[in-house]
Amino acid sequence: MKVAVLLNSKAGQLNHKLCEERAREIVDACRSHGIDADAKLCEAARLTETARRIARDGGVDAVIAAGGDGTVSAVAAGLVGSDVVLGVVPLGTLNHFSKDLGIRDLDGAIAAIASGNTARVDVGEVNGRVFINNSSIGLYPEIVVHREDEQRRNKRSKWSAMARAAFRILLRFPLLHVAIALTGKVFSARTPFVFVGNNEYETGVTTLGSRKRMDRGTLGVYTVRATSRLKMFWLVLRGMFSRGSPPDLEMHAVDKADIVTNKRKLKVALDGEVVRMAPPLHYRARPGALRVFAPSAALGTAGEAA
């Protein structure tokens, strides 16, 4: 098996020298399992284009994305719709996608690749942009923008900057006025956020942020209705201390959704990265659009022959 390994040369917690060390470590681990691997450090803005070119040119069986969810998402976007397999080596902070695949570390990642077990999983798409985990508007992208500003200006750690940004945004963020068109239904709401998952997310306290399946061909659309800022604060507090699913959370499982607001531009989070888009936002599920390596125990009915 021949693979190309792509790393973000400017990943959040990795300087260039450490990226090179990680690249050598991954290549050595691959070769110890009989996998012919070459690594390439790539700027974040070029990850999708590079993965697409590798898939188009041929010569490799798989492209390995080594990094956090943002890196994996960018590489996956370049492979969607092709037969080139995505491998994932988790190097980020949260690594939601790899965890949902059953991969938690380098050893597990290389073992999954070496096994040759593959699965077809879904991706989501909004206005032509692919996401592998989720997309959202409202509170979260605003917090991310302010967190990055805190990190840049005050040299704070990621989590310290996130806490300060969240506090600032919760104090002043205006509620969104949205109209959401789902299959056979249209509703409007004042809400602090709209969250769209690639498949349905668990909402319990102990399982929050995880998915049981990644191949159901659906989007999970989540929101809450808040008529005032006081109601929004009350919903946040209840959500923090509730043992079950967050109260007042509305969820719809659909294959597409259209979101309209009166804003000319919206900050839209895509797997933790924030972009600006002009509404309406057209979301759709793309069933089985991405081929991935995964441990056989995690494949379920989605497994393919190697």
**What is the average pLDDT across 111-134?**
96
What pLDDT shows up at residue 180?
96
Nearest-10 crossing angle of helices 106-115, 16-32? 40
CA 296 to chain centre: 22
Reported CATH class of domain 2-116: alpha beta
Neighbouring CB atoms inside 10 A of 243's CB total 7
What pLDDT shows up at residue 143?
81
What pLDDT shows up at residue 296?
67
d(CA 273, CA 229): 26
Q: Which residue has the higher pLDDT, 82 or 229?
A: 82
**Domains of the chain: which residue ranges?**
2-116, 131-285
Does the domain spanning 131-285 belong to CATH 2.60.200.40? yes
What pLDDT shows up at residue 301?
42
223 has a pLDDT exceeding 80: yes
What pLDDT shows up at residue 55?
93
Ranking 174-178, 183-187, 281-285, 296-300 by mean pLDDT, the lowest is 296-300
Q: Is 276 exposed, middle or buried (0-12, 13-18, 19+ CB in 10 A)?
A: exposed
226 has a pLDDT exceeding 60: yes
